[in-house]
Amino acid sequence: MERLASFGNDPFDKPPCRGCSSYLTEPYVKCAECGPPPFLLCLQCFTRGFEYKKHQSDHTYEIMTSDFPVLDPNWTAQEEMALLEAVMDCGFGNWQDVANQMCTKSKEECEKHYMKHFINNPLFASTLLNLKQAEEAQHNETAIPFHPADDPPRPTFDSLLSRDMAGYMPARADFVEEFDNYAEWDLRDIDFVEDDSDILHALKIAVVDIYHSRLKERQRRKKIIRDHGLINLRKFQILERRYPKEVQDLYETMRRFARILGPVEHDKFIESHALEFELRREIKRLQEYRAKKKITNFCSARTYDHLKKTRDEERLKRTMLSEVLQYIQDSSACQQWLSRQADIDSGLTPTVPVPSNSGRRSAPPLNLTGLPGTEKLNEKEKELCQMVRLVPGAYLEYKAALVNECNKQGGLRLAQARALIKIDVNKTRKIYDFLIREGYITKA
């Protein structure tokens, strides 16, 4: 029976005849019982009854030719393939060049046939649509693009952010180094030949199967990265910091199980535990109201919280006053303390040490009342400035410098923070730890 030849028009594209080693020209014969690889013979060797190894002259065979119509009675299959190759070489619309390359059809015939059967053919249109959808599905399985609304970071090569992104290249949706990057090396010297023994052939097949399993593992890891949004690590860390400290610890512990649960189930699990933590904390607060203060309604609870906050502030003021009174007893120590306080209030770095009677007491907290920038601080920042004895304006400048440098570098080390702000190293350490703890910067 006749079959469409699986090679192009160029005779050099076809394998040689197994009998005389000459290049095959259509029509030629293919043995239907031998192969793979296909056992092909020219007509001369076929008529002589050529036999070789397992091939016998009485085997069933197929006549390979493309000299038959497919879409149009006046166009053979060979001319159809020649038309497609000519359009690919010359470009769509250059019908004169296409006709010159085909040599058997005119310009008008080429254009009319191509438009009728390959452009306006509804069967081919649906087939091309299915191919496009299959290609997009395959792309979604292999590439790891960012969401269109995101602006993917494009860090310089070998920078800190590039290392955090595992060498991801947003423009190519791929990585600089794949997982198991040298898996292909095991296949570079493998060649399937006809004379291989059964054992050697089975060993080569086993090596190929192992390579396929390594490719599947590579795609599995890419899918986990894509589904969980792990490429933009900084954004992932910012989302993680919105949870309380206890939930963050749980998040860190359960992260290794995310690949099993999947992204949606994992997020639901963490959110449910965050909600449980909030409910437990609220229940504990209500139990405290009921047990200690006999509070039974929310109006009384708000009044109690306000009075408690006022008492805490008064207690802090009394503590500061007691600290100041210790220095008043020693005139020299009092003078040094006032000089140091004046330097701090003016934004200068104090250089005069403040001695104490016991040798172990620290300086009293700084009073922020009336200082510029105090209204821009939250309660925790106010507490930090009081304990570190840092004016709010200076703290805001140091905070902005550290946050900007962290955003540029993708992280910040303590040594870099000390190089940016030239103050006491202990104060720098407290500011650095506070910003890390509150999520303003990340540790490199």
* CATH number of the domain within which 384 lies: 1.10.10.10
Domain stop point among 88, 111, 128: 128
pLDDT at site 352 = 44
Tell whether 424 is covered by a domain.
yes
- For 25, counting Cβ atoms within 10 Å of its Cβ (0-12 exposed, 13-18 middle, 19+ buried), the class is exposed
Q: What is the pLDDT along the chain (444 residues), one digit of tens a residue?
A: 344 444 445 545 667 888 888 878 777 888 888 877 888 888 888 888 888 888 888 888 887 777 778 788 888 888 888 888 898 888 888 899 999 988 888 989 898 888 888 877 766 655 555 655 666 655 554 444 444 445 556 666 666 666 666 677 766 667 777 888 888 888 888 888 888 888 988 898 898 889 888 888 888 888 877 777 777 666 667 777 777 777 788 777 777 787 787 778 888 888 888 888 888 888 888 888 777 667 777 787 788 888 888 888 888 777 766 666 665 655 666 666 667 666 666 655 555 444 444 444 556 788 887 788 888 888 888 888 888 888 888 888 888 888 888 888 888 888 888 888 878 888 888 888 898 888 888 887
The phi, psi pair for 7, rounded to 5°, reads -125, 165
pLDDT at site 188 = 80
pLDDT digits (tens, 9 = 90+) for 267-286: 888 888 888 888 888 888 88
Local structure of 377: helix, strand or coil: coil
Q: Same domain for 52 and 83?
A: no
- Could you tell me the residue range of the domain that residue 32 belongs to? 28-64
Local structure of 130: helix, strand or coil: helix
Q: Same domain for 231 and 165?
A: yes
* CATH number of the domain within which 109 lies: 1.10.10.60
Tell whether 17 is covered by a domain.
no
The number of domains in the chain is 6
Q: Same domain for 41 and 96?
A: no
Tell whether 352 is covered by a domain.
no
pLDDT at site 4 = 43
Tell whether 136 is covered by a domain.
no
Query: What distance in Å separates the CA atoms of residue 95 and residue 90, rounded to the nearest whole number?
Result: 8
Q: Tokens for 47?
A: 């008529």
Query: What distance in Å separates the CA atoms of residue 4 and residue 66, rounded to the nearest whole number?
Result: 5
Tell whether 18 is covered by a domain.
no
Burial 192-228 (b: 16+ CB within 10 A, else e): eeeeeeeeeeeebeeeeeebeebeeebeebbeebbeb
Tell whether 265 is covered by a domain.
yes
Tell whether 110 is covered by a domain.
yes
β-strand partners of 412: 443
Q: Same domain for 271 and 316?
A: no
β-strand partners of 3: 64
Tell whether 333 is covered by a domain.
yes
Burial 89-120 (b: 16+ CB within 10 A, else e): ebeeebbebbbebbeebeeebbbebbeebbee
Q: Same domain for 174 and 211?
A: yes
Q: Same domain for 387 and 419?
A: yes
Q: Same domain for 119 and 165?
A: no
pLDDT at site 324 = 63
